[in-house]
Amino acid sequence: MRKRYQIAIFVFLGCVLCVPLSWADDDGRIERLEQEVKELRQIVNQLVTENQSLKASVADRGTPTLVPAIVADEQAAPKLEMRGFSHVQYDYSRSDHSDGTQSDTNHFTTGGVNLFITSKIAEKISFLNETTFEFGSNGQNILDVERVLLKYDMEDWLKIAAGRGHTSLGYWNQHFHHGTWLQTTASRPVMYRFEDDGGILPLHYVGLEFSGILDAPGGSLSYASNVANGRGTIADEVQLIEDKNDSKMAGVQFTYEPEALEGFGVGANYLHDAIPDKAGTTDRGAEIDEDIYGTQLFYLADPYEIILEGMVIDHYNHATALGDKTAGAYGQVAYRMGKYKPYFRYDWLRISDRDPFFQGSIEDEASCTMGLRYELTSYNALKLEYRYVDKDGSIKNEAVLQSSFAF
């Protein structure tokens, strides 16, 4: 339409400006020229009217839908981001057993590969996944999906996550996940060992998490709360797709951080669950009520790192009408000096002798860990660690040289 409009104007101007002056005396030619000019004016007026009508129609409809659709699709397309963690290490261990015998071992080992995947689906909706590829002692490869969460960031005071994640228990479980590069030490605290590594706590959940940060007098108050499937019949069982009883695990954790002392925080947590009965047993013929109480204190202001935590697990066995308490604690201190970071940790664990849920699978333990972390590069750390471990039936001296890295 615009092209026709331009052509008509050019023709009209050409006729007006390019007529030979010799025609001025020719009446017939002048009449024909006037007629042609009149017709051209009519055409131009018609084109102008159509062009104005077209502009008005476009204005009424808004911007053509094709361009916004393309832009919207580009903006809404989720962008997948992936990071990875792993470590390789050399272990040496010597054990002095209570029967007077000794044993020692040394070996190289790898921590497998831990993939940390995130994707922003929308402005306030995101996805998080943590998957580990581990190596078993018999040579098999093990795929373990540790976290898979759909997260809704409603407001600063309310964030909702659904799926499989880490329970709201203590400081370590909320901040240090499966990549050893993230933590100062080569090993986790004894009470925070994962379920499949002899741990006493339900560190993973499948269900919902509510979290957020609130303003508080003199500082801020953060919280995290879970409603999820509870424990299985054994400590190593995380109920991924079903729950063996109608009771749901419920827990909450609060952490207060004052503005006056940056890097300092104190917190407490509580969790309740009903552990299902175990068929074919006399002491597990009914559910076990589980209540977990914990406190945390930390000071993380460079170059200092101080973390103190304690947990009490209270079990009431309905089959025997007996109550049992298991407790664990640790204290870790570290001090950074340039690329070097020496550290020390003391771990303590006491298991109730008659608790059928832990009996025979986990021993009492007290250990001292000292080590040195060296930042070889920004994403590769070398750790030299020594541990003295006192268990019920043995005393161990362990040494570890680990290279942990992110990629």
DSSP-assigned states of every residue in 283-327 = TTSS-EEEEEEEEEEEE--TTEEEEEEEEEEEEEETTTTEEEEEE
CB 111 within 8 A of CB 120: no
CB atoms within 10 A of CB 117: 16
**pLDDT confidence of residue 136:** 79
The per-residue pLDDT for 83 is 93
* Contact status, residue 131 vs residue 103, Cβ threshold 8 Å: no
Tokens at 279, concatenated:
């068929």
Residue-level pLDDT at 262: 95
Q: Could you give the CA distance from residue 363 to residue 346 in angstroms, rounded to a whole number? A: 17
Token pair, residue 42, equals: 């009519």
| β-sheet bridge partners, residue 106 | 92
Q: How far apart are CA 151 and CA 170, in angstroms?
A: 21
Which residues, in sequence order, are CB contacts of 78 under 8 Å at separation 6+? 119, 120, 121, 127
Q: Which residues pair with 323 in a beta bridge?
A: 316
Per-residue model confidence (pLDDT) at position 29: 57
Provide the pLDDT for residue 344. 98
**Per-residue confidence (pLDDT) for residue 18, from 0 to 100:** 45
Q: What are the backbone angles phi and psi of residue 19, rounded to the nearest 5°?
A: -75, 130
Q: What pairs with residue 382 in β-bridges?
A: 374, 403
Neighbours of 78 (CB within 10 A): 13
Q: Tell me, what's the pLDDT at 235?
A: 85
| Residue that the structure tokens 């609130």 belong to | 214
Question: What local confidence, expressed as pLDDT, does residue 72 receive?
Answer: 47
H-helix or E-strand containing 99? none
Rounded to whole angstroms, the Cα distance separating 36 from 40 reads: 6
Express the helix, strand and coil content of the chain in percent, nearest 5 each: 20, 50, 30
Phi first, then psi: what are they for 318, rounded to 5°? Answer: -70, -20
**Over the stretch 309-326, which tens digit does the pLDDT of each residue have?**
999 999 999 999 999 999
Say how far apart CA 358 and CA 199 lie, in whole Å. 10
Q: Can you give the pLDDT at residue 92?
A: 97
User: Which stretches of the chain score pLDDT less than 70?
Assistant: 1-34, 36-37, 40, 44, 47-76
CA distance to 74, 176, 214, per residue, from 126 (Å): 17, 20, 22
